[in-house]
Amino acid sequence: MFKYLLLIGSGGFLGSISRYGVQWLVTKHFHWSFPLGTLLVNIAGCLVIGFLWGLTEKPHHLSKSWRFFLATGFCGGFTTFSSFSLENMTLLRHGAYSQFFLYTSLSLFLGLLAVYTGFILSTSFVRK
Instruction: Report pLDDT for 128.
Output: 56
Q: What is the pTM of this model?
A: 0.80
Give the pLDDT confidence score for residue 127 in this predicted structure: 64
CA angle 33, 38, 40 (to 5 degrees): 105
Per-residue pLDDT in tens (0 to 9) along the chain, 128 residues:
999 999 999 999 999 999 999 999 999 999 888 899 999 999 999 999 999 888 887 777 888 899 899 989 999 999 988 888 889 998 999 999 999 999 999 999 999 999 999 999 998 876 65
Q: Which amino acid is it at 94? A: H
The predicted-structure confidence for 76-102, as pLDDT tens digits, reads as follows: 999 988 888 889 998 999 999 999 999
The rounded mean pLDDT for the chain is 91
Of residues 103, 122, 123, 112, the one with CA closest to residue 45: 112
